[in-house]
Amino acid sequence: MAGAKETPRQKLISLMYLVFITMLALNVSKEVLDGFGQMFVKISDANVRISESNALLYENIEVNASEKGGKWVGHDRTAKKIKEESDKFFNKIESIKGTITEKQKIKDPELKEYSQMDKGESLDVIWFKEGSDAAASEFIDLLQNYKMQVIQVFGSQFPIYIEMVEDRFFTGDMNNNIKNKDNIDEPWLDYNYKGFPLVSSLAKLTMMQNDIRQTEHDVLTTLMGKELKMSSTVNESNYTSLLITEKGAYYQGETFDGSVILGRKGGAQNPNSVDLKIDGRSLTSDDYELIPGGIKLNVNAGSPGDHTIEGDLVFLNEGSESKISVNQMYSVISKPNSAVISADKMNVVYRGVQNPITISIPGIQDSKIKATAPGLKRVKGSKYNLFPGKGREVKINVSGTLPDGNRVSSVSTFRIKDIPKPAGYFRGQSGSFTLPKSSLERGTVEAKLEDFDFDLPLQTKSFRFRAPGQPSAVIKGNKLDSKAIRALSRIKNGQTVIISDIEVIIPSNPSYKLKQTSPISITIN
């Protein structure tokens, strides 16, 4: 046991509490109610299983106390006290569940019509109607007393578990209030049960019973301590874990349906708990199902490459835990979903800009691929940037390691081209066009890369201004200066001015020498 660390089951329960809290704001559908009903059934079944497991542990401690004496006498006394308090609290909750489902059982004896359990009046009558304060207080007192008894009896011996018990049976502040979604104090009981559908309250009460049985289990396994040894029935010496798959590799996006089982004939015992991870991610109860001798996985196969399954399968034999370690691997390859078509003459990169390139090898993880070329830099995963230097072509060398350890490599050649010639622009127009004289005075001289695949802004440094009958002038910046505006004032309608020798730079790479920008011809109207 790992102290107060939450198991996947406990994390699921915590998530369910959050779902329940939001239910009042929902127009609960039949499907949602059915979903809560299924949760109620699963938790009820889990309570049966853990109760059976706890019974074996109680028996084991009692036998040790009878045969060995010493510390086991004290352990047996502690276990019996915890059982007494746990059963009292558990049975009280069971009584409440019986009361609130009494009317429902008349028409639905097996409590399977979850879509009809959309009202919560039965529990509201017990705890929240006028004059029911005593019943509500009694339940809170019972919960608090159980928590206190566990802490006194067990926490005094093992203080590390006090926080776990406090969190598991948390009821808010000293006045049993908690902050609601509006950050306003609200009684814990109201917050969790008032006005909720019957099926949700039933499920939450059942979850609290699960917390009780889990607390018992934590106490018992801790008291057993080193006695929780590997049983001769299931142990590392005569069992191992095996991964069984329908095929050796899976396409990306497929469901991985492999089974992790015990590697011995006749090992038909189901695991009592599972602590497994795939690539470091802990499995939840939705990711697998228990089968004789192991579990059957139901998870997304994942991205291409190797994937590791590791952790433990936990079996309980006569009250003792047996852990079977798991360390297996499977491979995923990319699923071909389209033809590979390439234009042989279009392997082109441009000098002066960062060219984005994707590099991958089907069936190999990005981390096991190495790509080299002058000016090539990995951005993330399979994404790279190539900043070409001199020359007319660049070769990209790619190598990777397959899951079986073999290496593959390839070379791709790209032609290096210069950035195309920029076109001069004035007030959104290029080439030859007409404008009023006033527009010419206020506009800016720009340059753009027409039909270029890169979004590459340019900055105008200077240009030459020619007016009919007047000497040309080089103007710094991107607007007509005062001298040019005076020259413009002497121009008549129908005459044409020329803006040429437009010098532009790439702000992100000012040292790159662009080709000469095409001029602009503007006729005054």
Clarify whether residues 29 and 112 are in a common domain. Answer: yes
Residue 438 lies in a domain: yes
Clarify whether residues 86 and 137 are in a common domain. Answer: yes
Residue 1 lies in a domain: no
Q: What is the pLDDT of residue 25?
A: 38
| pLDDT (average), residues 347-354 | 91
pLDDT tens for residues 101-159? 888 878 878 777 777 777 767 788 888 887 778 888 899 999 999 999 999 888 888 88
Residue 3 predicted with pLDDT over 60 = no
Does residue 209 sit in helix, strand or coil? helix
pTM of the complete model: 0.42
Q: What is the pLDDT of residue 70?
A: 87
C-alpha to C-alpha distances, 47 to 51, 161, 272, nearest whole angstrom: 6, 21, 13
What is the residue-wise DSSP string for 386-430?
E---SSSEEEEEEEEE-TTS-EEEEEEEEEEEPPPPPEEEETTEE
Q: What is the pLDDT of residue 40?
A: 83
The residue from 417, 433, 452 where one domain ends is: 417
Residue 1 predicted with pLDDT over 80 = no
The confidence band for 28, taking pLDDT boundaries of 50, 70 and 90, is low
Buried b (16+ CB within 10 A) or exposed e, 146-175: bbebbbebbbeeeeebbebbeebbebbeee
| Among 250, 257, 318, CA closest to 291 | 257
Residue 343 lies in a domain: no
Residue 364 predicted with pLDDT over 90 = no
Residue 369's CATH number: 2.60.40.10
Q: What is the pLDDT of residue 230?
A: 36
Amino acid at site 260: V
Clarify whether residues 300 and 436 are in a common domain. Answer: no
Clarify whether residues 201 and 271 are in a common domain. Answer: no
Q: Which residues contact 25 (CB under 8 A, 6 or more apart)?
A: none
Residue 235 lies in a domain: no
Residue 311 predicted with pLDDT over 80 = yes
Residue 340 lies in a domain: no
Q: What is the pLDDT of residue 14?
A: 53
pLDDT tens for residues 465-480? 999 988 899 999 999 9
Residue 222 lies in a domain: yes
Task: Provide the token pair at 24.
Answer: 């009042």
Burial class (CB in 10 A: 0-12, 13-18, 19+), 116: middle
Clarify whether residues 440 and 468 are in a common domain. Answer: yes
pLDDT tens for residues 66-105? 888 888 999 999 999 999 999 999 999 999 988 888 888 7
Strand 320-333 versus strand 249-251 pairing type: parallel
Amino acid at site 315: F
Q: What is the pLDDT of residue 269?
A: 60
Clarify whether residues 293 and 198 are in a common domain. Answer: no
Clarify whether residues 123 and 214 are in a common domain. Answer: yes
Q: Are the beta carbons of 214 and 50 closer than 8 angstroms?
A: yes
Residue 444 predicted with pLDDT over 80 = yes
Q: Which helix (H) or strand (E) holds 310?
A: strand 305-317
Residue 6 predicted with pLDDT over 60 = no
Q: What is the pLDDT of residue 385?
A: 93
Amino acid at site 478: N
The confidence band for 292, taking pLDDT boundaries of 50, 70 and 90, is low
The residue with greater pLDDT, 363 or 62, is 62
What is the residue-wise DSSP string for 105-137?
HHH-TT---GGG----HHHHHHHTSTT-HHHHH
Mean pLDDT over each residue of the chain, to the nearest integer? 82
Angle at 421 between CA 415 and CA 427, to 5 degrees: 145
| pLDDT (average), residues 388-395 | 92
The residue from 226, 258, 281 where one domain ends is: 226
CA distance 90 to 212: 7
Residue 339 lies in a domain: no
Clarify whether residues 476 and 500 are in a common domain. Answer: yes
Clarify whether residues 294 and 325 are in a common domain. Answer: yes
CA distance 15 to 36: 13
Residue 3 lies in a domain: no
Q: What is the pLDDT of residue 240?
A: 59
CA distance 181 to 323: 42
Residue 410 predicted with pLDDT over 80 = yes
When divided into structural domains, the chain yields a total of 4
Residue 271 predicted with pLDDT over 50 = yes
The residue from 194, 226, 258 where one domain ends is: 226
Clarify whether residues 304 and 453 are in a common domain. Answer: no
The confidence band for 7, taking pLDDT boundaries of 50, 70 and 90, is low
CA distance 474 to 442: 18
Residue 439 predicted with pLDDT over 50 = yes
Residue 293's CATH number: 2.60.40
Residue 290: which domain range?
241-333
Clarify whether residues 102 and 200 are in a common domain. Answer: yes
Q: What is the pLDDT of residue 143?
A: 92
The residue with greater pLDDT, 450 or 26, is 450
Q: Are the beta carbons of 322 and 264 closer than 8 angstroms?
A: no
How many alpha carbons fall within 13 Å on the CB side of residue 15? 10
Residue 314 predicted with pLDDT over 90 = no
Q: Which residues contact 427 (CB under 8 A, 6 or more apart)?
A: 435, 439, 443, 444
CA distance between the termini of the chain: 89
Q: What is the pLDDT of residue 306?
A: 77
Clarify whether residues 31 and 144 are in a common domain. Answer: yes
